[in-house]
Amino acid sequence: MLQGPETRASLIGKLNQPASEEVWMEFVSLYRPLVVRVALGKGLQHADAEDLAQDVFAAVRRSLETFETRGRGSFRAWLFRITRNLVVNQLTRPKGPVGSGDSQTNRWLMQQPDRQSETATLFDHELRRQQFHVAADRVRSKCEPATWRAFWMTAVEGQSISTVAASLGKAEGAVRMAKCRVFARLQQEAQSISSLWETEE
Amino acid sequence: MIARIGDDQNQRDRSHYDRETLDDFLHDRLAARTEAVTRHIESCEDCQCVVEGMAEENLSWRDLAAMFSEPSGAFVKGCAASPHRSATDDAGEDEHGRQAGAASFLEPSRDPDSIGRFARYEIQQVLGRGGMGIVMRAFDTSLGRHCAVKVLAPELACSAAARQRFSREAKSAAAVVHPHVVPIQTVDVHDGLPYLVMPVVDGPSLQQRVQHDGPLSPIETVRIAAQIADGLSAAHQQGLVHRDIKPANILLENSVERVQITDFGLARAVDDASMTRSGVIAGTPQYMSPEQAHGDAIDHRSDLFSLGSVMYFMLTGRSPFRAETTMGVLNRIGNDDPRSLREINADVPAWLDAIVMRLLSKSPEHRYQTASQVVRLLNRWQAHLLDPTGTEAPEVQPTRKPRPSASANGRKTGKPLRWIVAAGLFCFLLWAATIIILQTEQGTLRIESNADANLPIVIRKGDEVVEQMRVSRAGKTIEIKTGVYVVEIAGDVDGFEIQNDSVVIRRGATQVATIVETKSAGNDRSDAKPQSADQAVPPKLAPYTRMEFREQQVVVTVGSEHYELLKIDHLAIEDLVKQTKQAFGQNWKKRLSEDLVEVLGKLGHVPSESVLLKLRKLDSGEVVSIDAPLTKANRNALYRDNKHNQPEEASVADYYQKVLSGKTSVKADGVPLADFLTQLSEQHRIPILLDRNDLKRAGITTNTRVSIEMTNVSLRMVLNIALAKVGCKYEVKDEVLRVFAASTQ
């Protein structure tokens, strides 16, 4: 575990201090692309997706004022939770006159009971992808380039062990084990991102 | 601890490590003898198998690969996990998904020719899949005839409103009975899926016909257009607007070549179902009317605009408004005048050009007002064309005057110049240097200073400084190429004003500077004198079917072979390219490829019926000479293929996207918001407007302090983070980046 969950007490009153500002920047950097992707996934135009992301983070920022009543959990997890809720709500709730201009559309939106859970599923799915992409960036920088390539070419691009071994000039066993070990590190890294930001304590 | 099972150094090959050791190896936790263990495992397949199994205990290899697949791919997967997909999700689905989805609702059939059964129909083939539904070729078992069955897409069918809408529109379309409208025979529901049944029209669509045979003759165009207008007229009388008239929806019945319009009224049902939050309709918008493209209310005259686009397509082989992206097409539909038909195809008579251009008027008021009016007009012309002596030519309609010229600050009304300005906003420009982004065609830019002192001005294209100078009252003129430019003018100013083709920059009541753009003559078609009817327009002919400009060579296609072009008659290609560049400027590639006869003529060489091409085979390098006839068919093929010779159009919106996505580093420690934005503006050379009034209303002062320190992140991210902290947002609208208060919710 990289860092234990921060306690509520330690954060109250520190919101405008550099420490929590860093958390904020890190937070937005990490999750803004995710919010945009989920919104795109729900069929929004790119500009609207960017707009939604802005709305969400502006709203999250505003909620910092009510942080005291946020309930249990770490500051990071709390940020994550309200963001997820906002995204799911924003993408599920009919948008009124901003929509297609046809009241029919809104009525359909209302009629689809599974939309909320569907959006949540999409969010979580994209979240997981996001974790792995971030984790991949981090792991790659810590690996030997050849080790990383052995992993990427076999596990992600689906090339055979023998082909990759030949092209990298390595033994097949070494390629096979590089693939496994990088995979293990990747999972660990993704797990640590997840437990830092998304796990309620 | 490292334990070996069957521990014996001499039996290394048979001995293996226990799971705990292998797990440590996998997770880089080996405490000792790391090298020896690694060496063993890397050569022992059994241990490798165990490690591999442990690695995928929580996540399979397959899932891992899916994580890194293309975003859209994963998106489809994410959606497929939920049983009902929403209408808007449809856009992201890939082709495989569509095909699989198409067949998913079919029931098994015993008929070997059938891919499945739907209601009383044996489905033989999926013909296509549109935004709304799936069209299948089927055999009606109870009536013993072939038909086309269109089923509402299952992912739309989960909405009751979509189902009702589909049925209602299908029923009203079924009420239109006319020889030029494909009849709807049945409207029904099976297993919760509404569907309709139409007869199979044997014959190509207009799209296929033109793609296959090339552009049509004027007389054929008039015949087909008259029949389309006739069908439209019948529907319009019932209050039904087609909304999706395009060549693919016009069917030409084999042998009799009777025109039949299909998909009546259904476009509307699709729009409502596939509309995204932005109100943009999925699909190809190339034949849409401006009011449709703009999302305004439409009436039957929208179909008449689309008819004009279809006629344009018949005569030239392409739609009048083309661009790389959907937004580009919509933008052109709303703002651009199409290129004259006669310029593309000299065979088009002036009157026909006038009819098409009138149908393509931006304002519905300026078009013909009813489809029946168009039918009458086209029928009279058709009679005249068939029997020029027996029937008189109809009077040529007075062509409406061009659209009203642009209002002072409305650049969206179709001016050739696109000034990006902030006129009319109730806020002040922030920075000390004024920045204007302009999108321009090749030509000159003239800048005059009205201030007493010389005005320092920098003109940039991308990161490159094109010109850096000081401008006095005498003014300066700069040659520019097509593209998006950033003009920076030092000094405080507080307003822009557009006057026709110029931008006036003011400070208070004083004019600080004027920028005037003139397009170069070689390129400016709109100012050319209209040519009278048959004044020697050079024929549009070509000796090859494709011409492509590569870095060091020009490649042409003759027959089915590709060659490097060395010479045309006595003209070496290098000289030809050089001279064409001089004569035609930035459009030279297009002109050299499409208007060869004209180009050669201009260079003093009038070709005979054929030209002698000196060519080098691309594969063998062998040089050959071919006497190639100049034909219209070649030229048509070349013309349709010629997208790769069009100059690239970068839009202002693209420019903003590029800047916003670009990586940057910022450091601000308690800097007032206004100053912070000024810095960003100067650093990235984009205008940022701080809407002070809006901030004031929301109770945010422009002195609010901003603190942020980030490296190597996108400008978009910086804005997001910094602005969210002070309760603001930004938007790029009318090509200005505006910062305003985030609404309180």
Tell whether A117 is covered by a domain.
Answer: yes
Tell whether A137 is covered by a domain.
Answer: yes
Contact B727 A62 (CB under 8 A): yes
**Catalytic position from the list B63, B90, B113, B244:** B244
Question: Is A48 an interface residue toward B (CB < 8 Å)?
Answer: yes
What interface predicted TM-score (ipTM) does this complex get? 0.70
**What backbone phi and psi angles, to 5 degrees, belong to B571?**
-90, 120
Which helix or strand (DSSP H or E) is residue B497 part of?
strand B495-499
CA neighbor of B307 nearest in space, from B339, B255, B355, B349 = B355
Shortest distance, CA A25 to any CA of chain B (angstroms): 7
What separation in angstroms does the CA of B653 have from each of A116, B332, B439, B668?
33, 14, 10, 28
Residues of chain B contacting A44 with CB distance shorter than 8 Å = 276-278
Q: Give the closest of A40, A101, A186 to B295, CB-based.
A: A101
Q: If DSSP codes are grouped into helix, strand and coil, which group holds residue B704?
A: coil
Q: Give the closest of A25, A58, A133 to B710, CB-based.
A: A25
Tell whether A91 is covered by a domain.
Answer: yes
Give the predicted TM-score (pTM) of the model: 0.40
Contact A173 B91 (CB under 8 A): no
CA neighbor of B266 nearest in space, from B339, B405, B165, B360 = B165
Residues of chain B contacting A173 with CB distance shorter than 8 Å = 41-45, 48
Nearest chain A residue to B48 by CA distance is: A177
Tell whether A70 is covered by a domain.
Answer: yes
Query: What mean pLDDT is predicted for residues B560-584?
Result: 85
Tell whether A128 is covered by a domain.
Answer: yes
Q: Do A165 and A173 meet the contact criterion of CB atoms below 8 Å apart?
A: no
Q: Do B449 and B512 meet the contact criterion of CB atoms below 8 Å apart?
A: yes
The Cβ-side half-sphere exposure at B201, using a 13 Å CA radius, reads 26
Residue B428: its pLDDT value, please? Answer: 31
Tell whether A176 is covered by a domain.
Answer: no
What residue numbers of B does the annotated binding site for ATP cover? 150
3 state SS for B206-267: HHHHHHHHCCCCHHHHHHHHHHHHHHHHHHHHCCCCCCCCCHHHEEECCCCCCEEECCCCHH
Q: Give the closest of B55, B158, B724 to A57, CB-based.
A: B724
* Cβ pairs A/B, distance under 8 A: 195
Query: What mean pLDDT is predicted for residues A142-158?
Result: 87
Confidence of residue B117 (pLDDT cuts 50, 70, 90): confident
Number of domains in chain A: 1
Q: What is the residue range of A34's domain?
A: 8-142
Residues of chain A contacting B73 with CB distance shorter than 8 Å = none
Tell whether A166 is covered by a domain.
Answer: no
Residue A24: its pLDDT value, please? Answer: 77
Interface of A with B in 139-198 (CB under 8 A): 155-156, 158, 171, 173-174, 176-177, 179-181, 183-188
Show the domains of chain B with their CATH numbers: 4-63 (no CATH), 79-199 (3.30.200.20), 206-386 (1.10.510.10), 411-523 (2.60.120), 546-645 (2.30.42), 652-741 (3.55.50.30)
Tell whether A194 is covered by a domain.
Answer: no
Q: Is the pLDDT of residue B641 over 80?
A: no
Query: pLDDT digit string (tens) for B203-240?
Result: 888 988 898 888 999 989 999 999 999 999 998 888 78
What separation in angstroms does the CA of A133 have from each of A183, B22, B235?
13, 27, 54
Query: What mean pLDDT is predicted for residues A4-14?
Result: 37
Query: pLDDT digit string (tens) for B280-316?
Result: 343 457 888 888 777 667 788 999 999 999 999 999 9
B244 has catalytic annotation: yes
